[in-house]
Structure 1
């Protein structure tokens, strides 16, 4: 097969100077090159390795950016803290809630400010000290307990502690089931009123509205948290506490003075003998023992707590002689019926239980585990004896004195 090529015009031969060597003819390859092979579809795709490298670069970049952002944020917050930009320098207003704050003997403004800040009464000790310096006018904060609020402005806190705001108070926390003497010791420590003043008042309980059979203030010093004004006398303090007891009795529907005394005496036994969850059941069991048709215990309550009260000690370990001693007016093993009076300060819950005993068939109860407070009830002495043994077995696993 023949090929036709296009004809080109003839070109004249170049002329050379005499003696000049004719240049060598250049190879055709210098002017014409073969076209590069067209890329295939496979060669256009990035390899898997390249794809992996690209993903790794992307992940690294994201991580670096996140770390950078975190460093910038942390540095910003650090600088804000360093410059005090995040700090609440002072609260506003008179505060909220209620808290008893104690200033000890020898406490200065700096120490007081630190305590106030720790209890969130003021925002910062520094602002409190600044406010004290500006407002004190040479006065000092006196030792004692003060009625304060949470999140007070520093100025309001200074006013309260200097007596320009809410008054100074004596704080007293009276727990339930405390005896009269223990309550007096708390009041003496809190108010610094001599113990003898409270004891003298207890010698004449009728001046506070107690019935004639009351031999002391025992049972009528209502438990709770008290904030007594610093100007209050011992008589005013006792009057406030006994008024609280009368209010609780009336709230329970008990208004007759003699019945109030009976309910309060029973409530004090319930308080000493049971956990709160069992108050009503123990109250019903005591009521069964006091019933005229009781042939199970023949009117005897048989409470260890009453006997030891009469012996002026706190213990549940009694000798046979102590249980048989009728001369102890609080001995409910030897003397039928209720003891001659309350044996401690009952709570509102115990008073309610005494006024509204549960209707149960029980005569006996025993707490078989002093840690959990688990109490077991029974209607017969034989069943009760099994639970007493369970209690004694538990005591055998405890340290000496735990069940004493």
Structure 2
């Protein structure tokens, strides 16, 4: 009994003790020994990024071990530093202080280098190009309005879907048309390398762009691909409606969202509204990378018709065949939201 009480007491004290240790030892940080195993990486700081935004980016890219490792070093600096947008040559596994020093070192800022993340919409890609080069945004917008130089499929009415997400370094004096052409050719290269015929570029990119915006974990890309293809199969889904919030949001101009309102989902005037218009979405809704393209070409085997991410932190997603199964998964997601994302 005494041993049992001791165990219960130790368990009860585990949380407070952990908090005390964290408070006295500081945030998790990479050591010099760990830094020795770091690898070069290019990180993009966008115009308007706050210190918290940069800390999050560095954590996601594996540059720092924790958000606080960088953010605490930032708060300790006087005066508060001013960050310049652009691409920076850093390394993974840096201490928070080392990462901050590296970003503030002008020698690490890569001139005329941009980083385009997967799933970025074309309007935002043009902004990224402008921020990382000497090309005015107005020049890029004008160059994007005329698709003639780029050899896009006949169905394309914009550049959307054909600006491959990657890291690019441009020569000084490059024109807006040449910069855009570089990204388009890189997307064609990605399609050619996996055997996509020229006549299939459009359909592949449209599906891949949808997968890119809707999928989370790597393996889920192939399941998401299958869900949307199943919804185009009349024997499995007679309405033919993809019912993708990401497509609806894109049609409203909210390129950073995958959530919508009841009114938006009912708006037939939105040509990208797949709750109203059956069949595949009318055009790409993002610029997909290699994984999404591969998933479009090689969907997983399954009869799923629904999916919902039940844990936004881990990306855990439940795929279901029936409405009843999906409704049960939605309840799990709603419970998670109430516990982890309470509405203030």
TM-score range, shorter chain: 0.5 to 0.7
The two structures have a TM-score, normalised by structure 2, of: 0.66
Alignment of 1:39-118 (within 5 A): none
Task: Name stretches of at least 5 consecutive residues in structure 1 with no aligned partner.
Answer: 1-96, 103-143, 149-160, 163-167
Map 1:84-233 onto structure 2 (within 5 A): 169-233=111-175
Check conservation: 1:146, 1:170, Cα contact below 8 A. no
TM-score, normalised via structure 1 length: 0.57
Q: How does 1:9-24 map to 2 (within 5 A)?
A: none
In 2, the alpha carbon distance for the partners of 1:297 and 1:319 equals: 24
Give the drift of 1:204.
2.0
1:340 corresponds, among 282, 303, 306, to 282
Deviation track 1:16-41 (CA, whole Å, cap 9, x = no partner) reads xxxxxxxxxxxxxxxxxxxxxxxxxx
Q: Which of residues 309, 312, 319 is equivalent to 1:377?
A: 319
Instruction: Pick from 327, 334, 354 the counterpart of residue 296 of structure 2.
Output: 354
Aligned with 1:309 (options 250, 262, 275): 250
1:365 is aligned to 2:307 = yes
Q: How many residues align?
A: 249
Whole-Å Cα distance in 2 between the matches of residues 387 and 320 of structure 1?
21
Q: C-alpha root-mean-square deviation of aligned residues, in Å?
A: 3.0
Instruction: Work out which structure has the larger RCO, using CA pairs closer than 8 Å and 6 or more positions apart in sequence.
Output: 2
Q: In 1, Cα distance between the equivalents of 2:334 and 2:43?
A: 44
Tell me by how many angstroms 1:358 deviates.
1.4
Distance 1:383 1:188, change over 3 A: same
Q: 1:399 aligned to 2:334?
A: no
Name stretches of at least 5 consecutive residues in structure 2 with no aligned partner: 1-38, 45-85, 91-105
Cα deviation, 1:93-125, whole Å, max 9, x if unaligned, reads: xxxx977799xxxxxxxxxxxxxxxxxxxxxxx
Shift of 1:398: 2.7
Moved segments of 4+, more than 3 Å: 97-102, 144-148, 314-317, 399-402
* Secondary structure at the counterpart of residue 112 of structure 2: strand
Larger Rg belongs to: 1
Q: Alpha carbons of 1:206 and 1:292: their partners in 2 closer, same or farther (altered >3 Å)?
A: farther
- Once residues 330 and 101 of structure 1 are traced to their aligned partners in structure 2, the CA distance between those partners, rounded to angstroms, is 32
Distance 1:99 1:372 in 2: 24
